Amino acid sequence: MPVLRIAAFSDGNKGGNPAGVWIGDALPDASQMQAIAAEVGFSETAFAAPQGGAWRVRYFSPLMEVPFCGHATIALGAALAHRHGDRTFELHLNDAIISVSGRRDANTIAAALQSPPTRSAPVDPTLRDGLLDLFGYTIDDLDPKIPPARIHGGADHVVLALKSRQALARMTYDFERGRALMEKAGLVTVALVTMETPQLFHVRNAFAAGGVVEDPATGAAAAAFAGYLRDIGWPHGGAIDIVQGEDMGMRSLIRAEIGETAGSSIRVSGTARFTMHDVASSV
């Protein structure tokens, strides 16, 4: 089956984070999926096959399988809606059951996922200091209103909140060192965030563990971050908007809706855009 290439969390008809989407009658074995994901080369490729009235889904980066990927789920929702019409699709992941909905709208498809449950905890000071050193920051660069934390919304991340947009723009790191540190800590990404308003954040996500320097849009980390803001009593007003990928020239827009119940699922939404080739090949 051909792999669709769909940019999730796009800014209209531009930007977004490209994901691979493979849909077939049955999933290939893990080694085949890993090889396909490596050949595609995007930060993640989603593999989906029907399972009863739902879909069995697995996600692979170029280097490893990941338990959950938000932008690839949005891309999958767009592909399923394109093929099967506007509806909500139940997805069976390795460790959770979630859903994604898709709604066709001209050249883009609006999609929304319900994340796995969220949780957060203070980050170990040694890991915090190691990550600050990796990215060239100090404690003085951190925003004390949003303390560093280990966050989860289907996968594990660390969030470091910075005081200024300028500090976020200068993010850089040694890839191999970052990969080793993230793998040792069991992290999928490190989310660097800065607040413009209490409901608007600019974000960069380092994804060295998956073989990618930076992700232009990261739905799993967005869900985890939104859950963390709920945990600390942040004045989110029920939703936050995230701008990501600007420093890569791939501006992406993510919306995360936050319910009142601690630990509950986060609704993460955005638009997805197909290449003309993928629209034609998926009909």
Q: What single letter denotes the amino acid at residue 244? A: Q
Q: Give the per-residue pLDDT at 4.
A: 96
Between the alpha carbon of residue 133 and those of residues 122, 137, 141, 142, 228, the distances in Å are: 18, 6, 12, 13, 23
- pLDDT-based confidence at 275, cuts 50/70/90? low
Residues 100-128 have pLDDT tens digits of: 999 987 677 999 999 999 999 999 999 99
C-alpha R_g of the chain: 18
Whether the per-residue pLDDT at 20 is higher than 50: the answer is yes
Under DSSP, the state recorded for 27 is P
Whether the per-residue pLDDT at 211 is higher than 80: the answer is yes
Q: Give the per-residue pLDDT at 105.
A: 79
% residues pLDDT > 70 (the chain): 96
Q: Give the per-residue pLDDT at 247.
A: 96
Under DSSP, the state recorded for 142 is B
Residues 167-205 have pLDDT tens digits of: 999 999 999 999 999 999 999 999 999 999 999 999 999
User: Global pTM?
Assistant: 0.91
- Say what angle helices 175-185 and 125-135 make with each other, to 10 degrees: 160
As a whole number of angstroms, the distance between CA 33 and CA 73 comes to 16
Q: Mean pLDDT over all residues of the chain?
A: 94
As a whole number of angstroms, the distance between CA 8 and CA 252 comes to 8
Average pLDDT, stretch 10-36? 96
Whether the per-residue pLDDT at 42 is higher than 80: the answer is yes
Q: Which three-class secondary structure state does DSSP give residue 170?
A: coil
Q: Give the per-residue pLDDT at 282.
A: 36
Whether the per-residue pLDDT at 283 is higher than 60: the answer is no
Q: Give the per-residue pLDDT at 279.
A: 40
Whether the per-residue pLDDT at 33 is higher than 90: the answer is yes
Strands (E), the chain: 4-8, 17-23, 45-51, 54-60, 65-66, 87-92, 97-105, 108-114, 119-122, 149-152, 156-162, 189-197, 200-207, 212-215, 239-244, 252-257, 267-274
Whether the per-residue pLDDT at 280 is higher than 50: the answer is no
% residues pLDDT > 90 (the chain): 92
Between the alpha carbon of residue 185 and those of residues 101, 140, 142, the distances in Å are: 33, 23, 21
Q: Give the per-residue pLDDT at 277.
A: 47
Average pLDDT, stretch 68-88? 95
Query: Do the beta carbons of residue 86 and residue 77 sit within 8 Å?
Result: no
As a whole number of angstroms, the distance between CA 137 and CA 122 comes to 19
